[in-house]
Structure 1
Amino acid sequence: MRKKLIEVALPLEAINAESAREKSIRHGHPSTLHLWWARRPLAACRAVLWSSLVDDPSSWPDKFPTEEDQKRERERLFDILGRITIETDKKGNHKQVVRGLVSWDDIKNPAIIDEAQKEIARCLAWDRGEEPPTQPDAVRDYIAKYAPPAYDPFAGGGSIPLEAQRLGLEAHASDLNPVAVLINKALIEIPPKFKDLPPINPENRQKKGMNFWKAAQGLAADVRYYGQWMRDRAFQRMGHLYPKVALPKEYGDDAEATVIAWLWARTVKCPNPACGCQMPLVKSFQLSTKKGKEAWVQPKVQQGQGESEPNGEMMAETAVPRIRFQVQSGTGEVPDGTVGRKGAVCLACGAPVGLDYVRSEGCGGRMGAQLMAIVAEGNKGRIYLSPTHEQEQIANSAQPKWQPESELICKSGVINAPLYGMTKHADLFTSRQLVALTTFSDLVSEAKKKAFQDAVCARLSDDDVPLNEGGTGARAYGEAIATYLAFAVDKSSDYWSNLCTWGISGETMSHVFTRQAIPMTWDFCEANPLSDSTGNFNGAINWVVQVLENHENGNCKSEVFQHDATLIHENDSRPKIVSTDPPYYDAVPYADLSDFFYTWLRPSVSSIYPDICSTLLAPKHQEMVADTFRHGSKQKAKDFFESSLIKLFNRINNLNHRDYPVTVYYALKQSETDDNNNVASTGWETILEGLMQANFSISGTWPLRTERSARMRNLDSNALASSIVLICRPRPETAPKITRRQFLSELKKELPKALKTLQQGNIAPVDLAQASIGPGMAVYSQYTAVLENDGSPMRVRTALQLINQLLDEYLTEQEGEFDSDTRWALTWFEQHQFNEGQYGDAETLSKARNTSIQGLEQAGILTAKAGKVRLLKRSELQPNWNPEQDNRVPHWEITQHLIRALDQTGEIGAAELLAKLGDGGEIARDLAYRLYNLCDRKGWSAEGIGYNSLVISWPEISRLARESKKSEPIQGSLF
């Protein structure tokens, strides 16, 4: 069994940098085809798969006999996979750029893919004792013939199968969730069927000079054409529900504009008997914060007769006050919102109203909505207008012919809308939004029929074989187009919901799933699907089309099927390379969330995929998540998840090709502390228990960071920024047993080396505890059992607790590298953080640390007054501090000043300071790890963010500091 590159070394920094950058890539990126939760970055998946296929040079001692030869070859492979270079842009600025296979920009270059595939073919050929092919077509044929298929049993958003296909492998993907299955079909199964096919729509066929259509470009052109056809028909059918709005006189006589969005406030009746107002529930009255374009809503209370509506109509005589809204612009005081986490307030009488009352009104069907403002398209940007009775009346006149009556499951913190009476999926949409979605959904079927007729005219085979049965003729092509059109409607539902909000800084609307939840929103934004602006249908079509236009994965055979990952499948007999990203315990309720989309996707495509869409909602009973609600108790949910994992990993062990490791992604920070303050992770315990019982051992682990450093500085201390990739091999049947003492001895020998490597790789402190599980469990998992003193097998939980203890010991031992002032500060910080303590205690500690309170005060890290001592907060540190003029610079002071500079002036400011510190600044990163560990154990989340941020930003800070040193002028000498 030859070791693969992933089991020895990876260019982590390049992989991490590109994985993080990928979050900001939108146009044409496969993730924009359809939303999916917790999707792995393509760069990470591509790197993991390629390095699982390519041999490490140490596997070929006859070809690379010395360590130096192996190192040189490994570096060559790193250059192919990913390397960080410094490039100069057009403005002369230097920036870090990732080049190679992991780069999203570089994989559009066929030569990059050719080079990567050549390495895969070379390893296959060497293993067969053959000369490797060299020509690209021959290389691809060789991989297709001899490489086993790649399989992901939890395909989800399709990242792993898509990248396997890109590398030339036959890709197999399965998932229980019908939305995930359809996403994978659209990404890896459909495009190769119609590769290089010209479009069949009449408009493109009439154009000259368009004879060559590459990859899925013809399919993309057809999706765009029939998408526009749908939009035109929708305008004819429901355009009256989306009227233009009259503009004020300053825009000209009878001037009007297309509405971009209508902004609504939910309302409930004020419980004060003397009031009874329909009180608006508004989080913020601000509309725009753009400089020079500030706008907000000004609420006004109207009482009795004689008052008038904004459109001039008289109010009916009533003693009940009513709130009307007027839009203001320019400078002025924006009123506070009326609702928050602690409750609401009535604008008319000022009465405080608890959220329990608001919930009861919602559950009683007594929650309404009032138009608050209108956003229109202007020649010079957004125009904010006061609401009109006519616009509100037209919106309320919509009568949908159908709506999804399926139940919405309430899950506190994840799906909160049912708490307020929104118990059905239909309740997540206004009547007008329901009309829009049903109209476009119906048009998908009509577009499919039209596309079929045009495909016959374009001389595609009229064989009547459905797409779902392998067809490639006119019927199948029409069904393929309909699939992508249905995705555009599905994407639109994310923007055409009464849970969307208006973004005041970017002047665009936010969609429902800004996080992995269906939240409750108070004031909401209703988009105009027929406009040319934010949230419109043509925009959804463009996202889908751009993914197809960028599809370059050739004609590799692929297979996507709906399947429960714990059960044996008919194609398991053929060995496969398994790489998967299983559910993270109870972190994401995929089935419950995906029902939001499935209720709209199913009506459009159930005739195309009858088996996949056979259920009214996404299957939930078999879904492998630890759902307490579904299973009745926390313990039953845990038992279900663990037993399912064991079944899954047993299946994987049976179908895995023995020449290749299994790679498992896991990203979960969920820990529990027992009565003895031992820390372990429930999620990690269950997945590792599953691997152990399925006779796997862990041969390596890699933390793949997926968040940009800018966002990392805003992450909560409990957020996990990395996916930990476990590299697993079947454990030999001859593996021995060892004692607890032997295990601890081996763990103490191996874990510190691994932790040092992780730190040198600049792993985020927030991820260090999770990443340490890998090398620790690598020791544990290589044995059949670790025996306790009484002869019983050691539990995974116990092993995890021991790993955590040794991590704490390792970080504590690093304190010996810090100066005495810093060691005093660390102990004081652990006891008091930045709060005051007794002078006597501080002085006693200072003697033990071989320092003095007076010296520490002179060093500028504490203040001592009136018998009290306190560490200085970063905000209290000396401004414009220059270490070159300071004769006492503790490591503590260096670290705190660097974090302050990073917070105030970013990486450039921190780099300027690091350049002045010279080599003495490097230890600040080690201290940041120790301080984060303290904060994490103490629950000081806000304070821990600073130390985490410093480590995450360290590579860029160091690079900028080195550059600034190079650019400094060197003083010459006359003699």
Structure 2
Amino acid sequence: MPPKKKSPVPCPNLHPLPDKAQPRLIDKGILHCLASQGGARERYGKGKTPHTIHVWWARRPFSAMRTLVFASLDSGESPKALSLASELGRLPVSESKDAKAAAKMLSRQYAEPPRVLDMFGGGGAIALEAGNLGCRAFSLDSNPLAVFIQKSLMEFIQEAGGCPPDLLKESGRRVLERLERETAPLFPMRNSQKGPVLAYFYTYETACPHCGWKFFLSRRPWLSRKKGREACLEFHPGEDHANWKIIHPSRDHKPTSLWRKTGAVCPVCGKVCGSPVFSQCREVLTSLCRRGNGKGKDFEAGSPKVLAEPALIEKMESAVLAYLGQELPKTKIPKWSGIFNPAIYGMDSHADFLNPRQRLVLLLLIKSLRTEYDALVQSRPEAVARSMVGLLSGLVDQLIDWNSRLSMWIPQNEQAGRAFCGPGVPMIWDYVEIDPLLNGPANLWKKLDRIVEGAKAIPTFSMAPDVRLAAAQNLPFGDGIFDAIVTDPPYYDNIFYSPLADFFYSWKKMVISALSSELAGFDSTESPRELVASVRRHNSKLGAHESYCRELTQALCEGARVLKDSGLMSLIYSHSSLNGWDALVKAFRASPLLITSVQPLCIERKARPRGLASGAVNTCLVLVARKSSKPKPVQSPSELAARFEDIAGCGFARDLLSQGWPEEDAGLALFSQGAALLANSSGELIGNDHEVLALIESVVASVLPAFKISRRRSL
């Protein structure tokens, strides 16, 4: 007989439930087993969830959030609850018989539909899944772009009575066919006898301030690194300026780099030229990409002859801006070294990060979407028009993210890469421009297919989630009305949402203004109540840290105010630095919430580029907390250390390892238990929280040597 499968070790119980709290399924402590597997699987799916429609950052898998919401509400008394929760975590789509069974189970436990609040709504996964489970869901965000995304996924579709996929695809095809016709003059090589040009590659030329020699600033010269198809740009001096050609070297070829820490180096006089200025550089088309006869793509040298005339582009841009009644965005890209670098080199505004042809194609797409909305309003109810175009506005996201001066080429798979995957935006000195209406990299036809597939996964709600533009620090609700708060706040300084969102909002609001005018009247998405530890905003590292602690404390206190005495808060959090955890400890300590357990979720893609490059954590933690009227207990560092050592020896971390969790992630799951113990203490005898957190880290490292917490301050 095969060996009997071992039951998982539950997460430690950190504090008894307060007197008025009601036990929930999540208190069994095995959320990491119920939700992680399905959540991780969903991360690798393409075009199967509503996340594929719009661009937002750090969004959680729907399957994992579905399980989390259910576990935060269910009493856990039914024997079927655990198996049902497990099935919810495995499913990659939002609407299913299991989700309906879970909704029915919850309806038997509550006199009226349970109320669930997400105080930091972001991309809307939590509220969507709460609505999917029959709850009365509420979602807030202080960012108008996030609110629009959520409304398009939940409110607009509900108001329209659903989203027929055939109608959506038909409407999207009209938008793209119109765009294809209007952009034809901009792409002379679209109908080339040699085959259409799928992509255009650019770099920049600058003049040496010492000798006057003109040379290229290329940093990514590879065109293809596929085995047997290697292609690379090679730059070399000519008579009066630099030249280039395409070579086909071996895979271990190392192109010569002219870049040093202090700036670019002139290849002729050998002197450092300092940091180049974008506006003083000449943009040069170096090469073209066509579809190959076999597998892969063919590359050839570029020439200005294949581009549209600048005068034509300027004339067409003026005409489309007049049609839209708009001007080019004047908002500024933040000058923020190491986080948002383009402005450091003189790429100043949200009109500059696209070249003239990319910008015109984007404007023509916006025009086509507005035209489609006006046509739909004439033939169908306005709610249907708003629903269709709200979803199709995801096409705008595709162009901004994959077709700008900040979009790089990935030679390993011969594809265009995202420009705005976060957490910041680097300056790119070699970028790719695509023809988005051809069947090539990052094209809009494939994006339309993903939008349609994503829309199919949006459930039909018994009650549409209530989405509002508001701040978590000042909740627009009365006292004690929510059965659960399930929320995923910004993690200290992991991602700076509003500067990223502004690259999209500065353009997308030209569409939003027709669909939801109250969300289009802002110059920027930045709000003074945005929860972030930002040195740029607060002028000092200490000021950034104190502001995050203060604002998170206020949000937790507001959450406790609107939560029922019997309810709970499930708050998702993760950070790799001591300061990030110190902020969480201080905020919970100052709130009337006690953390009863911390349960890890391993739902990130292991192979995401930033994770590979930086060793970023793959695990997030769910802090389960209850309201308590009693003061936090007074505990000494030695008492906390003794309690944590007991937890470290209970086998929980070793069980995670046996399930295949990486040692660093198991270490973070264990470390978070100690941080929660510290947050549950009054701090009266603690002294320095950093010292206690460092002690907790040392205990974790004795069990899991690969684990380490960084000592950096806020960015």
TM-score relative to the length of structure 1 = 0.65
Relative to 1, partners in 2 of residues 1:118 and 1:55: Cα closer, same or farther, differing over 3 Å?
Answer: same
Task: State the match for 2:321 in structure 1.
Answer: none
Q: CA deviation at 1:683?
A: 1.4
Task: State the match for 1:376 in structure 2.
Answer: 290
Task: State the match for 2:17 in structure 1.
Answer: none
Alpha-carbon separation, structure 1, partners of 2:301 and 2:443: 22
Instruction: Summarize the alignment of residues 207-222 of structure 1 with structure 2, pairs less than 5 Å apart.
Output: 216=163, 218=164, 220-222=165-167
1:389 pairs with 281, 304, 308, which one?
A: 304
Alpha-carbon separation, structure 2, partners of 1:750 and 1:643: 30
Task: State the match for 1:104 in structure 2.
Answer: 91
TM-score relative to the length of structure 2 = 0.87
Q: CA deviation at 1:731?
A: 2.1
Relative to 1, partners in 2 of residues 1:194 and 1:571: Cα closer, same or farther, differing over 3 Å?
Answer: farther
Task: State the match for 1:29 in structure 2.
Answer: 49
Counterpart residue type for residue 119 of structure 1: M
Alpha-carbon separation, structure 2, partners of 1:321 and 1:608: 51
Task: State the match for 2:426 in structure 1.
Answer: 519
2:73 pairs with 19, 32, 53, which one?
A: 53
Counterpart residue type for residue 700 of structure 2: L
Q: CA deviation at 1:804?
A: 3.1
2:185 pairs with 217, 240, 252, which one?
A: 240
Relative to 1, partners in 2 of residues 1:152 and 1:19: Cα closer, same or farther, differing over 3 Å?
Answer: same
Q: CA deviation at 1:160?
A: 1.0
CA contact (8 A) 1:260 1:534 kept: yes
Counterpart residue type for residue 588 of structure 2: L
Task: State the match for 1:297 in structure 2.
Answer: 233
Q: CA deviation at 1:771?
A: 2.5
Relative to 1, partners in 2 of residues 1:441 and 1:573: Cα closer, same or farther, differing over 3 Å?
Answer: farther
Task: State the match for 1:409 in structure 2.
Answer: 334
Q: CA deviation at 1:222?
A: 2.9
Relative to 1, partners in 2 of residues 1:484 and 1:745: Cα closer, same or farther, differing over 3 Å?
Answer: closer
1:421 pairs with 340, 343, 346, which one?
A: 346
Alpha-carbon separation, structure 2, partners of 1:398 and 1:258: 20
Task: State the match for 2:623 in structure 1.
Answer: 726
Relative to 1, partners in 2 of residues 1:776 and 1:243: Cα closer, same or farther, differing over 3 Å?
Answer: same
Q: CA deviation at 1:353?
A: 5.2
Relative to 1, partners in 2 of residues 1:30 and 1:384: Cα closer, same or farther, differing over 3 Å?
Answer: same
Matched, 1:113 2:71: no
Counterpart residue type for residue 437 of structure 1: L
Task: State the match for 2:448 in structure 1.
Answer: 541
SS at match of 2:88: coil
**Deviation per residue, 1:18-64 (Å, 9 max, x gap):** 2222221111222211121121222321221111112234xx9xxxx
Alpha-carbon separation, structure 2, partners of 1:701 and 1:446: 50
Alpha-carbon separation, structure 1, partners of 2:172 and 2:463: 28
Alpha-carbon separation, structure 2, partners of 1:396 and 1:502: 28
Alpha-carbon separation, structure 1, partners of 2:242 and 2:670: 61
Task: State the match for 1:3 in structure 2.
Answer: 23
Matched, 1:179 2:141: no
Counterpart residue type for residue 63 of structure 2: A
1:450 pairs with 375, 383, 389, which one?
A: 375
**Deviation per residue, 1:601-625 (Å, 9 max, x gap):** 1111123322222211112322111
Alpha-carbon separation, structure 1, partners of 2:710 and 2:120: 36
Counterpart residue type for residue 178 of structure 2: R
SS at match of 1:174: strand
Relative to 1, partners in 2 of residues 1:370 and 1:449: Cα closer, same or farther, differing over 3 Å?
Answer: same
CA contact (8 A) 2:570 2:622 kept: yes
Counterpart residue type for residue 98 of structure 2: I
Matched, 1:494 2:401: yes
Alpha-carbon separation, structure 1, partners of 2:357 and 2:38: 42
Relative to 1, partners in 2 of residues 1:937 and 1:604: Cα closer, same or farther, differing over 3 Å?
Answer: closer
Unaligned runs of 5+ in 1: 61-72, 83-99, 125-144, 197-215, 248-254, 304-319, 456-473, 671-680, 812-928, 940-975
SS at match of 1:195: coil
Relative to 1, partners in 2 of residues 1:4 and 1:712: Cα closer, same or farther, differing over 3 Å?
Answer: farther
CA contact (8 A) 1:704 1:723 kept: yes
Alpha-carbon separation, structure 2, partners of 1:229 and 1:709: 38
Task: State the match for 2:83 in structure 1.
Answer: 79
CA contact (8 A) 2:186 2:308 kept: no
1:266 pairs with 180, 204, 224, which one?
A: 204
Task: State the match for 1:148 in structure 2.
Answer: 114
CA contact (8 A) 2:127 2:139 kept: yes
Identity %: 23
Task: State the match for 1:766 in structure 2.
Answer: 664
Alpha-carbon separation, structure 1, partners of 2:538 and 2:684: 33
Matched, 1:506 2:413: yes
CA contact (8 A) 1:285 1:334 kept: no
SS at match of 1:660: strand
Task: State the match for 1:702 in structure 2.
Answer: 599
SS at match of 1:579: strand
Counterpart residue type for residue 89 of structure 2: V
Instruction: Summarize the alignment of residues 556-635 of structure 1 with structure 2, pairs less than 5 Å apart.
Output: 556-570=463-477, 574-635=481-542
**Deviation per residue, 1:331-356 (Å, 9 max, x gap):** 7996725444544355xx544453x6
Alpha-carbon separation, structure 2, partners of 1:10 and 1:742: 27
Alpha-carbon separation, structure 1, partners of 2:176 and 2:608: 37
Task: State the match for 1:321 in structure 2.
Answer: 241
CA contact (8 A) 2:35 2:68 kept: no
Task: State the match for 1:18 in structure 2.
Answer: 38
Alpha-carbon separation, structure 2, partners of 1:623 and 1:429: 27
Matched, 1:440 2:365: yes
Alpha-carbon separation, structure 1, partners of 2:614 and 2:443: 37
Task: State the match for 2:579 in structure 1.
Answer: 682
Counterpart residue type for residue 728 of structure 1: A
Structure whose CA Rg is larger: 1
**Deviation per residue, 1:445-471 (Å, 9 max, x gap):** 21111011121xxxxxxxxxxxxxxxx
**Deviation per residue, 1:217-267 (Å, 9 max, x gap):** x1x3333223222223333333211112686xxxxxxx2422211111111
Counterpart residue type for residue 767 of structure 1: D
2:132 pairs with 147, 159, 166, which one?
A: 166
SS at match of 2:402: coil
Counterpart residue type for residue 386 of structure 1: A
SS at match of 1:426: coil
CA contact (8 A) 1:11 1:78 kept: no
Single out whichever of 479-488 and 655-664 deviates more from structure 2.
479-488
Counterpart residue type for residue 613 of structure 1: A
Task: State the match for 2:589 in structure 1.
Answer: 692
Matched, 1:39 2:43: no
Q: CA deviation at 1:762?
A: 5.4
SS at match of 2:393: helix
1:357 pairs with 274, 297, 321, which one?
A: 274
Counterpart residue type for residue 336 of structure 1: P
Relative to 1, partners in 2 of residues 1:773 and 1:396: Cα closer, same or farther, differing over 3 Å?
Answer: farther
Relative to 1, partners in 2 of residues 1:703 and 1:377: Cα closer, same or farther, differing over 3 Å?
Answer: same
CA contact (8 A) 1:268 1:279 kept: yes
SS at match of 1:661: strand
Counterpart residue type for residue 35 of structure 1: V
Unaligned runs of 5+ in 2: 1-20, 319-326
**Deviation per residue, 1:639-677 (Å, 9 max, x gap):** 21111112111110011133332011111011xxxxxxx
Relative to 1, partners in 2 of residues 1:739 and 1:271: Cα closer, same or farther, differing over 3 Å?
Answer: closer
Q: CA deviation at 1:773?
A: 4.2
Alpha-carbon separation, structure 2, partners of 1:799 and 1:170: 41
1:228 pairs with 155, 164, 173, which one?
A: 173
Task: State the match for 2:264 in structure 1.
Answer: 344
Relative to 1, partners in 2 of residues 1:331 and 1:623: Cα closer, same or farther, differing over 3 Å?
Answer: closer
Alpha-carbon separation, structure 1, partners of 2:699 and 2:124: 38
Alpha-carbon separation, structure 2, partners of 1:241 and 1:122: 61
Alpha-carbon separation, structure 2, partners of 1:569 and 1:389: 57
